[in-house]
Amino acid sequence: MSVYKQLTTADTIVTPFEVNKSFTFQGKNNFSSSNVNIDLLIGTLPTQSLFNSSSFSTTGLYNNQFQDLVYESIEHLYYSNYLSQSYGDTAATASFNNDGTITGIRQTTNNYNYLTNTLTQSRELLPDGGTNIGVLTIPRSLFGEYIKPGSFIFNDGVHRFTDDKQGNIFTTQNTGITHVGNIIYEHGVIVFTYKLLSTGSFPPDTQGISESFSRQNLTCSFDSTKTIYETQFLCNLNEAEYNFSLNPTIISKPDGTVYPYTTGSWFNPYITTVGLYNNNLDLIAVAKLPQPLPKSNVNDTNIVINLDMY
C-alpha cells in the first residue's frame, strides 16, 4: 500500500554533469568496421577557381569525396579567419554615428571557426607551402557531444600525434615538439596541415599525408563526452506525517483489527521504499533504501532520491 505526497518544483533540483568513455581502435581495418566509420580523407589545394566535377577524388575508408571540396570545406569552416596570418586576420572596424551614417572600414571577419577557447589560436592551413592536407573524421555516434580535450592520440606507425587541450595537434620529433594541425573537438574533425614522411623531417614532400594515412598499423584513441542530467528529489516528511504503518502485517486476523502494539506512542514505522509517481499516479521510479529507516515523530525526516537521466 502507498501514501502519496505532492512534490513541488522547490523539491526538485536538476544538475547536469559530464561523463566520458574511452575508445581505442587499432589497425586500419578496425577504423572502417561496422559502427566505427572513422574516415581518412585527403584535401588538395584547388588549381581552378570553379569546381571541376572531373577533378581527382579521394577514397576514404567508407566515404569518397572530391579532394578540392574537402580542402575548401575545411578552409571555410575552420581557417577562413586565418588566411593571411596564423594568429588570425585583423578584424576591421566601423563607427556608427548618431546621424545614422557609418564611417571607417566596414568589412569584418564574420566567420565562426569553432575555436576551442578565447585564447589566441594558431591556425595555418598550409604552413609549409604544400598542397595537401589530411582530415581524420570521427562520427558523432562515437564521440558524443565532443571529444574530451587532451584525450586524442593518433599513431601512424611512425609519428604519434596528440592534442594539447587547446585545439592544437602536436608530434614529437628529434628537433622537439612540432605543431602539425588542429582538432575541432565538437565536430570530431582532426586536420593535419604539415607534410609528414617516415624520415621525420618537416616538411618532406607533398606525399607525406598520403603515406601516413596509407599505413595499416594505424591507432586512434579518444574519450567521448556525454552530459547526464541528475535529478534530485527531496522527500520531506514532517513529524506529524507517516507515523502509522500501512503494512498489511499489522492487521490481526480474522477480526481485521490492528495489533495492540502498533497503537502505542512508542511505535514508529520503518520506511524501506519510496516510489515516484506522475500526475496519473503511474509508478515511474522506485528507490530502495539501503536499510529500513525509522520514521521520527519528533523531527522532520528528509529522504533525497538521485535519478540519472540520459
70 closest CA partner among 149, 3, 125: 125
User: Is 211 within 8 Å of 197 (Cβ atoms)?
Assistant: yes
Is residue 145 located within the same domain as residue 283? no
1 within domain boundaries: no
Distance of CA 275 to the CA centre of its chain: 33
Among positive and negative, which fits the CA dihedral 257, 260, 261, 262?
positive
Is residue 103 located within the same domain as residue 156? yes
Beta-carbon-side half-sphere exposure of residue 71 (alpha carbons within 13 Å): 23
* pTM exceeds 0.75, yes or no: no
**Containing domain of residue 210, as a range?**
28-217
Is residue 143 located within the same domain as residue 267? no
20 within domain boundaries: no
- Range from 90-94, 128-132, 181-185, 262-266 that averages highest in pLDDT: 181-185
pLDDT tens-digit map of 185-196:
999 999 998 765
Band (197; pLDDT cuts 50, 70, 90): very low
21 within domain boundaries: no
Residue linked to cell 596541415? 193
Distance of CA 98 to the CA centre of its chain: 45
Is residue 182 located within the same domain as residue 251? no
Tell how strand 301-309 and strand 219-237 pair up. Answer: antiparallel
3-state SS, one letter per residue, for 194-215: CCCCCCCCCCCCCCHHHHHHHC
**Average pLDDT in the 100-117 region?**
72
CA torsion, ordered 118, 165, 70, 87, to nearest 10 deg: 40
Total domains in the chain come to 2
23 within domain boundaries: no
Asked which of 189, 217, 245 is the last residue of a domain, the reply is 217
